[in-house]
Amino acid sequence: MAHYVAPFAAVDIIDKQLVVLQLASAQGRLWVHQWHQQPATQACSQKLHCRALMTVMDHRAVHYQQLSEHQQLHQVRESVHASLGLEHTQLDTLTLDYQHTPLGTQVVSGHCSQVRKKQQQFEVLKCPVSIVEPAFQAVIRATNFLLAEHYSPTQSHVLSPEWQILQLAEPLSTLIRCHYGSISALSFHSESDLTSIIGSPLPTFYFGNRNISNRHQFGSQPMLQTLALPSYLQENMSTALGDQLLPLFGCALRGFIKWHH
């Protein structure tokens, strides 16, 4: 059976473990082509069979904003710098990515120094990290895959054009609002805010800190649906890391998207 191996692999540090995930596909089915896990401080002797690596930046290490109009690169830069209150001498300290949508322009920005610091974490692998994306992009990509592959199309949360993803964590959880599978808003919430989120009429998919979900009885809420990797993928990955692997999986899916390379 002919198969395709993603040329890029995803890498991250989760619970002080350095993990690498590379996917392959055939006839629409995914499997783990390469999985490597080791203590983050340990020298690496594993040979990676990929062209380059991809990783994610923490949600709070990037700045997301919506601009009301379609703008060119120089206009986007000016808008971002103005919104962040940066001086002209600081213009080169930011790296940014943007795309046009029907509602305007979506922009993600981060400090160049933080991007470089993230890349340096994986120098032990002796393989270049050529793509660094915001974690929310990877989470949305993973969720879109799971919705398409593992939920019945008759279920109301699949049919809804708007839904949200809640990544539970301490001290702040991340809420990602989506419209037809694309981000529409990003916000951060303390545990005291979760009551209003749980009561939202929007379908909500959640993953992350189990203690928080248990305290708020997420399992008994009709509009809440837990996110988890399919069992056929977990067989080749560390079950101890659980749904913490969801952003890594979403990043690994990007390895199939040729135009990003």
* CB contact set of 219 (below 8 Å; sequence gap of 6+): 213, 226
User: Distances from the Cα of 152 to the Cαs of 146, 155, 255, in angstroms?
Assistant: 11, 6, 26
Query: For residue range 88-127, what is the model confidence (pLDDT) as tens digits?
Result: 666 567 788 888 888 788 888 888 899 899 999 999 898 9
Q: In angstroms, rounded to a whole number, what is the distance separating the alpha carbons of residues 9 and 251? A: 8
Q: In angstroms, rounded to a whole number, what is the distance separating the alpha carbons of residues 216 and 220? A: 9
Q: Nearest Cα to 140, choosing from 64, 227, 250?
A: 250
Q: Tell me, what amino acid is at 178? A: C
Which run of H or E residues covers position 13?
A: strand 8-14
Under 8 Å between Cβ of 59 and 186: yes
Q: Nearest Cα to 250, choosing from 84, 30, 63, 15?
A: 30
Under 8 Å between Cβ of 11 and 55: yes
- The phi-psi region of residue 151 (left if phi > 0; otherwise alpha if psi is between -120 and 50; otherwise beta) is beta
The separation between the first and the last C-alpha atoms of the chain, rounded to the nearest angstrom, is: 26
HSE at residue 81, side-chain half, CA atoms within 13 A, is 16
Under 8 Å between Cβ of 5 and 33: yes
Confirm whether pTM is higher than 0.85. Answer: yes
Q: What is the pLDDT of residue 259?
A: 46
Under 8 Å between Cβ of 48 and 125: yes
Residues of the chain with pLDDT under 70: 1-2, 87-92, 150-159, 238-240, 258-261
Under 8 Å between Cβ of 255 and 10: yes
Q: What is the pLDDT of residue 150?
A: 63
* CB contact set of 177 (below 8 Å; sequence gap of 6+): 162, 164, 183, 184, 185, 186, 187, 202
Q: What is the pLDDT of residue 232?
A: 77
Q: What is the pLDDT of residue 129?
A: 92
Q: In angstroms, rounded to a whole number, what is the distance separating the alpha carbons of residues 130 and 234? A: 26
